Chain A
Amino acid sequence: MSEKEKNSPILDKRSSRRTFIKNSGLTVGGVVLGGALGSLLVNKDKTATPEAPAHTETGAAANPNVALMFFTPDEYRMTQTAVERIYPADDNGPGAKDLNAAIYIDHQLAGQYGLNSKDYRLGNFYAPEPTQGAQTKILNKDLFLLGLKELNNYSKQNFEANFVELEAADQDTALAAFSEGKAQFAGTSSSEFFNLLRKLTIEGVYADPLYGGNKDMQGWAMRKYPGSRMSYVKEIQSETFVKLDPQGLNSHMGH
């Protein structure tokens, strides 16, 4: 995040958020109800939150893998918004949201990664020295959901609106606070959540599309990465850059 954004007049934004919330009548209500209604309302008010809408329209049915096995629709939307801030759309091409990084994260957290099934989980969890690596008892799937919740709490406290409704600059301010370990968090540092979010976002952009992200291998295409091919004997000897169209692991099936 740039200094410019950091120093942006927060008070102004707060007041505009306040107006928006008043108008939308979303200050009370259960989480589910608020979330569901929120997205509907947000869809109507595109100027207030340019980030949130649109995804539901983009050919959802075409790929059966694009469906949720872990997140609630609200959590999914929030994840989409957050990953887009980590890796936004730009002149190079789509951002993490359109690359389906949130679908990737949904699928990862539903499986063994969400349950930390290959991590050492025995014994006491003591507070570590900075050189001793994370020592959190919280499972990845729970850390992520806790993080989303805290991100929303932070947004409400500081900007008086849900995270998905904030302007990009405020979303960045919130995420920066998490990344620096400065946001309130139960049981561990907010930076642990941020690190998980960042790591999963990058994976969701660049892992083989078989995992649900890196839509149409566009993550690879942006950086001219050819994906997985069997041999580069020829290309590796070339003095000039050889651009190859990306191929997924599915191209190795049937070998």
Chain B
Amino acid sequence: MATKLPKVPVVVVGMGWAGGIISAELTKAGIPVVGIERGKERKTEDYLMGHDELRFQHRTELMQDLSKETITHRNTLNMRALPMRNYGTFIVGDGLGGAGSHWNGQTYRFLPYDFEIKTLTEQKYGPNKIAPEYTIQDWGITYDEMEPYYDTFEKMAGISGETVELYGKRANPYPTGPMLKTPVLEVFEKATTSLGYKPYMVPSANLSEAYTNPDGISRAACQYCAYCENFGCEYGAKADPVVTVIPVAKETGKLETRTHSNVLRLTKDGNRATGVIYVNTITGEEFEQPADVVVVASYVFNNARLLLNSGIGTPYNPETGKGTIGKNYAYQVSSGFTTAFFKDREFNLYAGAGALGIEIPEFTGDNFDHSDLNFIHGSGIRMFQYGARPIANNVVPSGTPSWGAEFKSESIRWANSFLKIASQGSSMPHKNNYLDLDPEFKDAYGMPLLRMTYDYTDQDRELVKYMAGVTSKIAEEMGADIIDTVSEQAPFNVNKDTNTHNTGGVIMGADPATSAVNSYLQMWEAENVFVVGASAFPHNSNFNPTGTLGALSYRAAEGIQTYLKQGGLLV
């Protein structure tokens, strides 16, 4: 039996960026918050032994423990979904800070086009540009309405970047200037400039200079230490909830965090949630935490799963298109990239940072004409200098064996002489790509796992073909000696594809019939439940998601405060 605890105003499930921002904003406003987090507590000092590729990248030390919980996957409706038994594709955050501890820090805004994608696509290309199975919809909010929240998030995190003309208007420049434009990035800059594009430095949460944010948090500049993606930052240079919003919330004395506490489900009474049930993952004890408002900020997968396991909201049905929970799961398409090998050049590839990159804006969103193309939206064509760690980076020209003498000599030969021109493609929702509960597989606590039904679509394959042409042309212009382009999008493979940008499942919109939450991320069907995260995105753009989910978290925090005062649906 669960031990019932005294009621609190707000309980937050999950302490990543979404949960951390909500907690900071509410506690600063004097509202007590209990933050429940399944993983462990963390602080910057914990990262001192962080430069260990095996432990953090390949043994996924900071990520969700799959022995407790995973997702199941199938490509199509008539397959049996099977559990992702070990990591291959997306890796999922765990512990205080969530994935915000081991993210790269590439911090974009989505485009004005994204928020009104249906309206704008139809306006420009007519109603039949994209088949009806692609369930794109407007977000119920415009870029102009989002702008102040983006600004708040960027100031809190100290984003380093430069203004891009083709993108949405900014009220303020980035709080810190762009990161160093290294000789590696200059290769991309030179080639794309001579092709007529306007490259810009990727907006970064790895600070280009020391910075103090409006909450009074001071952080040091990035050291380009190269142990960034998959690793925590021992300098606090990378914006991480653990060095920004969580200490601010704690400082108020109003945040109580409970770690090693896994929420099993929400409790409810009619169409209101009454709190959460959680289990202490170490002792196995169960607790019930009643609350006036429940904030679900447990990442895309568990945001949908917790609602489904609690019977809150109407599950999406792909046959009828009705229902909303689980709808419009989207990902991103990363094929279409080119690897360029240089015989006589050695770059300092061992150095780098998670968001040290350069990109061209011309192929993003609707910034190029799609009249004669069989797809909508686009790609960020970009190049990064992450730091080529040696277990993960044994890049050889195609046709080279994957083991043996030739593999060894080739992998060493090119170790410091290759550059990757990446294409991060947007992902349009499709009626058959969705999330629901697995009928068979359970987590370690006996709760059904989330089942993902997902595969790439024709839209994705067309986009990849097109972008492959762009990336290979850039490689030619760079003067590469060997050019390898991946120009076809293979079927989605849960153990191979790597992209950590999952979106949808609890999407926002203006219409309760087609969306689960309103523009404050308040559930239409349960007004005291706010579901915060990229789960709210009705489609996925070609940019990394966190800037946008961070901005939405600030908006949700505002909504929760209003709700606590006046109740009712906010829209």
Task: Encode A149-168 as 1/0 by CB contact (under 8 A) with B.
Answer: 00000000000000000000
**Interface presence of A87 (CB below 8 A):** yes
Report yes or no: A92 in contact with B409, Cβ–Cβ below 8 A: yes
Report yes or no: A208 in contact with B223, Cβ–Cβ below 8 A: no
| Cα(A85)–Cα(B54), bound, Å | 22
Least Cβ–Cβ distance between A190 and chain B, in angstroms: 14
Task: Encode B60-81 as 1/0 by CB contact (under 8 A) with A.
Answer: 1000011101100111000110
| Contact residues of B: prevailing secondary structure | loop
Residues of B within 8 A of A36 (CB): none
Report yes or no: A118 in contact with B59, Cβ–Cβ below 8 A: yes
Residues of B within 8 A of A129 (CB): 74-75, 79, 82
Q: A119-B85, A132-B494 are in contact. Are A207 and B53 (CB under 8 A)?
A: yes
Within 8 A of B (CB), among A30-48: none
Residues of A within 8 A of B394 (CB): 202
Residues of A within 8 A of B84 (CB): 120, 133
Task: Encode B402-439 as 1/0 by CB contact (under 8 A) with A.
Answer: 11111111011001100000000000000000000000
Report yes or no: B86 in contact with A224, Cβ–Cβ below 8 A: no
Q: A220-B390, A228-B52 are in contact. Are A120 and B416 (CB under 8 A)?
A: no
| Cα(A219)–Cα(B494), bound, Å | 31
Residue among B53, B54, B401 with the highest chain A CB neighbour number at 10 A: B54
**Interface presence of B226 (CB below 8 A):** yes
**Interface presence of B173 (CB below 8 A):** no
A7-15, A55-63, A71-79, A230-238: which lies at the B interface? A230-238
Which of chain B's residues has its CB closest to A117's CB?
A: B67
Task: Encode A106-138 as 1/0 by CB contact (under 8 A) with B.
Answer: 000000010011111111101011111111000
**Interface presence of A249 (CB below 8 A):** yes
Chain A interface size range: 35 or more
Residues of B within 8 A of A201 (CB): 403
Checking B74, B88, B227, B352 against A228 with a beta-carbon cut-off of 8 angstroms, the contacting residue is B227
Checking A126, A219, A236 against B390 with a beta-carbon cut-off of 8 angstroms, the contacting residue is A219
Report yes or no: A90 in contact with B183, Cβ–Cβ below 8 A: no
**Interface presence of A67 (CB below 8 A):** no
**Interface presence of A185 (CB below 8 A):** no
**Interface presence of B495 (CB below 8 A):** yes
Residues of A within 8 A of B224 (CB): 231-233, 236
Residue among A90, A132, A175, A231 with the highest chain B CB neighbour number at 10 A: A132
Checking A95, A120, A131 against B83 with a beta-carbon cut-off of 8 angstroms, the contacting residue is A120
Checking A88, A120, A203, A222 against B85 with a beta-carbon cut-off of 8 angstroms, the contacting residue is A120
Which of chain A's residues has its CB closest to B51's CB?
A: A228
Checking B69, B227, B390 against A206 with a beta-carbon cut-off of 8 angstroms, the contacting residue is B390
Within 8 A of B (CB), among A200-223: 201-203, 206-208, 210-211, 219-220, 222-223
| Cα(A252)–Cα(B231), bound, Å | 15
| Cα(A127)–Cα(B54), bound, Å | 29
**Interface presence of B442 (CB below 8 A):** yes
| Cα(A117)–Cα(B444), bound, Å | 13
B140-148, B163-171, B343-351: which lies at the A interface? B343-351
Residues of B within 8 A of A91 (CB): 409
**Interface presence of A225 (CB below 8 A):** yes
Report yes or no: A118 in contact with B88, Cβ–Cβ below 8 A: no
Checking A88, A123, A203, A227 against B441 with a beta-carbon cut-off of 8 angstroms, the contacting residue is A123
Task: Encode A75-104 as 1/0 by CB contact (under 8 A) with B.
Answer: 000000000011110111001000000000
Report yes or no: A252 in contact with B48, Cβ–Cβ below 8 A: yes
Residues of A within 8 A of B65 (CB): 118
**Interface presence of A229 (CB below 8 A):** yes
A-B contact pairs, 20 of them (CB 8 A): A1-B404, A118-B59, A120-B66, A120-B70, A120-B84, A122-B443, A129-B75, A131-B492, A132-B495, A133-B85, A210-B52, A223-B390, A223-B411, A224-B346, A228-B227, A229-B51, A232-B352, A236-B182, A239-B183, A241-B416
Residues of A within 8 A of B (CB): 1-2, 85-88, 90-92, 95, 113, 116-124, 126, 128-135, 172, 175, 179, 198, 201-203, 206-208, 210-211, 219-220, 222-233, 235-239, 241-242, 249, 252, 255
Residues of B within 8 A of A (CB): 48-49, 51-54, 58-60, 65-67, 69-70, 73-75, 79-80, 82-86, 88, 180, 182-183, 223-227, 346-348, 350-352, 385, 387, 390-391, 394, 401-409, 411-412, 415-416, 440-444, 491-495
